[in-house]
């Protein structure tokens, strides 16, 4: 819904939240979560707005709200209601209004340190108290205050509120760096984008104990929703870019290579130069760049080889420059990379092109990017690529997708598919979980939707438990070939029940689909199962909106269907008669 993307249509959202919610509830939801909001001020509209933004991301949430300003009590003391609610996420909505004692101007340095400790200790108690819920914790940091008693000296002097808040915020950061499943909702940044003069509304605080103006709340909740959707695999994966007037000023086909505006010579050229630099930064954190442009390919490449161009043809995973409809090109790009077209952000200065793409490709993000000087801000504030953690896999993603495209072209050259697979000279490492991979395993479980038989999600805590437990057979797979290392791309978790093994989870990254990795994983699973005296392995398929590609997976793996209804299929495999299925990938 356009109104729910930056720049947010605040008037519309505030006035029509009931209607928006009703509309969005007509959609299907692949993810349902329970979110507890523990507030240091009124949370009612924080919740209402968050609910709408999450629905727009395809996440349906149930909520628990603490009584007004009972965040400390709810967290620290036994709380039956919260225990029964069993939250997936606990959001602690505290603000500068919850700082109990700021420094007095007469305080000594020591007295100020005592005050700082007392503030942070209150939060340590809250976070420790919340550990028993095994939930993800999202904590606001503190925004700057509404006035500056000491003026500019506030930031330097230890008696200044700003100095105190900055110190407190850095203690929050330390905790976030040392604790998994703990994230900061950076309201210090959100409030400064919104503007502190507009953020604070004393009347709303005194009347209704809202810590900020009602008009600021959608921005607060939108920012929070980015973290949550990223945690549940709803991030975008790359940018599909137009060229003329998007990557450079002017039309290269008409103006020629010397006529386009890019580089630091003119203001027009500078603004596109800055945008290209931003895109290059995006690609360094693993968000891939692609082109879909109505141009002769020759011209497109010439533009990217312009002496002042920041981006070079090599920085793009795929360049589609032709006269076909852009929506067709985007679908082809998606197929080539084994990605969903709904995981792309389409960036084009032309509103007509934007409309066609957004009407014909479900779920693709198509921001209204306005003027070239606005491009960066509009892309950035929409949080398409919200970073939860940065793994080595993320940083290598560009290479991974590139080698995928190269594999496709080798495949076209090979006479048959098996020859092609052999030419890849694949090597796999398949083994029971190791501690160093638990982060990556959790991340993969959080975001795999298509090749995922049960779509069960696990938190890092749960994965750590499973990793230690004898009741589970849990294996990961890594795959490399002549074009590069695909990293850790498959996970299987089976629960042991006497001589039976129930496969709770089987997933694989789609980028290694049909490479015989599925067979290699099953071979290894059976090996381990046999060594543990397992006789029967049971596989389950639970359909979702996204996992249709594996509806017949267990048949293909030679399991026997033994149970079927609308909600699931159950399969059986007899270990004693199992024959090895992979003879292409070299394992371990």
Name the site residues for another protein (rule: CB under 8 A).
Answer: 11, 14-19, 22, 42, 44-45, 203-204, 206-208, 210, 214-215
**Cβ proximity to another protein, 197 vs 566, nearer residue:** 197
- Strand, coil or helix: what is 251? coil
| Residue 508 CB-half CA count within 13 A | 22
In whole angstroms, give the CA distance from residue 373 to residue 275: 8
Distances (CA, A) of 354 to 80, 290, 294, 345, 360: 50, 16, 13, 11, 10
- Note the residue count of the chain: 588
In whole angstroms, give the CA distance from residue 216 to residue 10: 9
Least distance to another protein from the beta carbon of 59, Å?
Answer: 22
**Cβ proximity to another protein, 200 vs 272, nearer residue:** 200
Least distance to another protein from the beta carbon of 392, Å?
Answer: 47
Burial class (CB in 10 A: 0-12, 13-18, 19+), 520: buried
**Cβ proximity to another protein, 11 vs 380, nearer residue:** 11
Least distance to another protein from the beta carbon of 82, Å?
Answer: 22
**Cβ proximity to another protein, 45 vs 485, nearer residue:** 45
| Torsion over CA: 176, 177, 181, 183 (sign) | positive
**Cβ proximity to another protein, 122 vs 214, nearer residue:** 214
**Cβ proximity to another protein, 204 vs 275, nearer residue:** 204
Contact criterion met (CB below 8 Å) for 244 and 252: yes
C-beta neighbour count of 22 within 10 angstroms: 10
**Cβ proximity to another protein, 11 vs 359, nearer residue:** 11
Least distance to another protein from the beta carbon of 45, Å?
Answer: 7
In whole angstroms, give the CA distance from residue 177 to residue 520: 37
In the chain, % helix, strand, coil (3-state, to 5) comes to: 45, 20, 35
Least distance to another protein from the beta carbon of 43, Å?
Answer: 10
**Cβ proximity to another protein, 69 vs 113, nearer residue:** 69
Torsion of CA 142, 148, 151, 153, to 10 degrees: -40
In whole angstroms, give the CA distance from residue 467 to residue 455: 19
Contact criterion met (CB below 8 Å) for 38 and 127: no
What H or E segment, with its residue span, contains residue 402? helix 397-413
Task: Single out the residue of 531, 554, 560, 569 nearest to residue 432, CA to CA.
Answer: 531
Contact criterion met (CB below 8 Å) for 347 and 367: yes
Distances (CA, A) of 442 to 286, 390, 509, 539: 18, 13, 13, 21
Least distance to another protein from the beta carbon of 219, Å?
Answer: 14
**Cβ proximity to another protein, 43 vs 309, nearer residue:** 43
Least distance to another protein from the beta carbon of 140, Å?
Answer: 20
**Cβ proximity to another protein, 43 vs 185, nearer residue:** 43
**Cβ proximity to another protein, 19 vs 425, nearer residue:** 19
**Cβ proximity to another protein, 44 vs 169, nearer residue:** 44
The token duo for 66 is 């603490």
> CA 194, 41, 110 angle in degrees (round to 5)?
90
Least distance to another protein from the beta carbon of 218, Å?
Answer: 11
**Cβ proximity to another protein, 4 vs 503, nearer residue:** 4
DSSP state of 508: E
Least distance to another protein from the beta carbon of 22, Å?
Answer: 7
DSSP state of 344: E
Give the chain's end-to-end CA distance (angstroms, integer).
48
In whole angstroms, give the CA distance from residue 560 to residue 554: 8
**Cβ proximity to another protein, 44 vs 391, nearer residue:** 44
In whole angstroms, give the CA distance from residue 30 to residue 58: 6
Q: From the centroid of its chain, how far is CA 454? A: 20
> CA 390, 435, 137 angle in degrees (round to 5)?
55
Least distance to another protein from the beta carbon of 11, Å?
Answer: 5
In whole angstroms, give the CA distance from residue 585 to residue 588: 10
In whole angstroms, give the CA distance from residue 91 to residue 38: 6
Least distance to another protein from the beta carbon of 68, Å?
Answer: 10
Least distance to another protein from the beta carbon of 53, Å?
Answer: 17
In whole angstroms, give the CA distance from residue 418 to residue 538: 29
Least distance to another protein from the beta carbon of 201, Å?
Answer: 10
Least distance to another protein from the beta carbon of 191, Å?
Answer: 18
């Amino acid at each position: 819904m356009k109104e729910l993307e930056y720049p947010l249509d605040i008037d519309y959202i505030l006035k029509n939240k009931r209607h928006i919610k009703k509309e969005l509830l007509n959609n299907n939801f692949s993810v349902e979560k329970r979110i507890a909001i523990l507030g240091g001020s009124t949370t009612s509209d924080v919740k209402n707005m968050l609910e709408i933004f999450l629905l727009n991301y395809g996440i349906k949430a149930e909520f628990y709200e603490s009584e007004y300003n009972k965040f400390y009590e709810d967290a620290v003391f036994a709380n039956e209601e919260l225990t029964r609610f069993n939250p997936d996420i606990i959001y602690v909505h505290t603000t500068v209004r919850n700082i109990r004692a700021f420094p007095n101007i007469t305080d000594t340095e020591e007295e100020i340190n005592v005050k700082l400790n007392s503030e942070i200790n209150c939060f340590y108690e809250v976070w420790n108290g919340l550990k028993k819920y095994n939930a993800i914790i999202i904590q606001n940091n503190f925004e700057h205050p509404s006035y500056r008693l000491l003026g500019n000296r506030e930031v330097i002097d230890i008696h200044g509120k700003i100095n105190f808040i900055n110190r407190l915020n850095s203690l929050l950061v330390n905790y976030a760096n040392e604790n998994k499943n703990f994230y900061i909702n950076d309201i210090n940044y959100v409030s400064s984008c919104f503007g502190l003069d507009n953020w604070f509304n004393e009347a709303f605080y005194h009347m209704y104990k809202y810590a900020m103006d009602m008009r600021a709340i959608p921005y607060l909740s939108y920012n929070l929703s980015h973290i949550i959707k990223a945690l549940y695999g709803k991030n975008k994966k790359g940018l599909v870019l137009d060229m003329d007037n998007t990557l450079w000023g002017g039309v290269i086909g008409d103006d020629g290579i010397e006529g386009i505006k890019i580089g630091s010579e003119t203001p027009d050229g500078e603004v596109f130069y800055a945008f290209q630099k931003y895109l290059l930064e995006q690609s360094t954190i693993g968000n891939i760049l692609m082109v879909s442009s109505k141009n002769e390919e020759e011209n497109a490449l010439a533009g990217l080889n312009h002496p002042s161009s920041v981006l070079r043809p090599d920085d793009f995973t795929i360049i589609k420059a032709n006269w076909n409809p852009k929506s067709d090109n985007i679908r082809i790009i998606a197929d080539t990379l084994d990605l969903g077209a709904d995981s792309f952000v389409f960036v084009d200065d032309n509103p007509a092109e934007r409309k066609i793409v957004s009407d014909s490709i479900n779920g693709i993000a198509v921001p209204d990017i306005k003027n070239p000087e606005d491009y960066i801000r509009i892309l950035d504030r929409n949080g398409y690529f919200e970073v939860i953690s940065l793994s080595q896999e993320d940083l290598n993603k560009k290479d991974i997708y590139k080698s995928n495209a190269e594999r496709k072209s080798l495949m076209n050259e090979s006479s048959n598919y098996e020859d092609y697979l052999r030419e890849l000279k694949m090597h796999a490492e398949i083994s029971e979980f190791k501690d160093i991979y638990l982060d990556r395993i959790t991340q993969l479980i959080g975001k795999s939707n298509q090749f995922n038989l049960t779509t069960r999600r696990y938190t890092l805590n749960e994965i750590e438990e499973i990793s230690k437990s004898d009741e589970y057979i849990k294996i990961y797979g890594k795959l490399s070939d002549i074009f590069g290392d695909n990293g850790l791309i498959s996970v299987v978790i089976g629960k042991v029940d006497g001589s039976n093994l129930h496969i709770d989870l089987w997933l694989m990254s789609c980028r290694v689909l049909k490479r015989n990795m599925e067979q290699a994983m099953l071979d290894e699973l059976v090996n381990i199962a046999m060594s543990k005296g397992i006789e029967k392995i049971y596989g389950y398929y639970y359909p979702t909106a996204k996992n249709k590609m594996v509806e017949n997976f267990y048949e293909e793996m030679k399991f026997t269907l033994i149970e079927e209804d609308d909600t699931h299929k159950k399969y059986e495999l007899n270990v004693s008669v199992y024959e090895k299925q992979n003879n292409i990938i070299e394992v371990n």
